[in-house]
Amino acid sequence: MLVGIVDGEIAGNCQIVFNHRHKTKHRASVAITIISKYWNLGIGTAMMQKMISLAKNQGIMQMELEFIEGNKRARALYEKMGFSIVAEKPNAILLKDGTLLKEYFMVKEL
C-alpha cells in the first residue's frame, strides 16, 4: 500500500494485492483513491505508475481492477495507464435511492 501525503495531509492511497495460489499468481489486483481536493495534480498517475512497476518486478502478467459506472475520472486514469474494460456486472451497485449501477472490470496485460 502507498499513501500520498501533501503538506502533511493524506491526499490518497493505493494498493496492490498479489495472488499466491499457483493458478492465479500471475495476476494482481489494484485499487486507488484520491481525495477530490488533490485531483489534477498527477498523484493518481504517479501512484498507478508505481503499482505497475511493483507488479512488473514481481513477474505479474496481468493487473486487474474494478470501477463503478459513472466514475469518469477513474476510467480516464485507468485507460491512460493501459487498462481496458473486459467485462461488466449489471446491477452490481445499489444506491440508497434505489438506483442500480454497473461495475466494470478492467485488465492491463504486462
43-57 helix and 72-80 helix, angle to the nearest 10 degrees:
50
For residue 78, what is the domain's CATH number? 3.40.630.30
Domain range for 63 is 2-109
* pTM assigned to the model: 0.93
pLDDT at position 77, please?
A: 97
Taking residues 51-70, report their average pLDDT: 97
At 99-108, the pLDDT tens digits run 999 999 999 9
Write the pLDDT tens digit of every residue in 86-98. Answer: 999 999 999 999 9
Q: What is the pLDDT of residue 30?
A: 98
- Going through the chain in order, the beta strands assigned E by DSSP cover 2-6, 9-18, 27-34, 62-68, 84-94, 100-109
Query: 34-45: per-residue pLDDT in tens?
Result: 999 999 999 999
The structural domain count of the chain equals: 1
pLDDT band at 83 (very low <50, low <70, confident <90, very high): very high
Q: How many CB atoms lie within 10 A of CB 57?
A: 8
CA distance 24 to 78: 22
Give the position of cell 486487474.
Answer: 64
Mean of pLDDT values over 56-76: 97
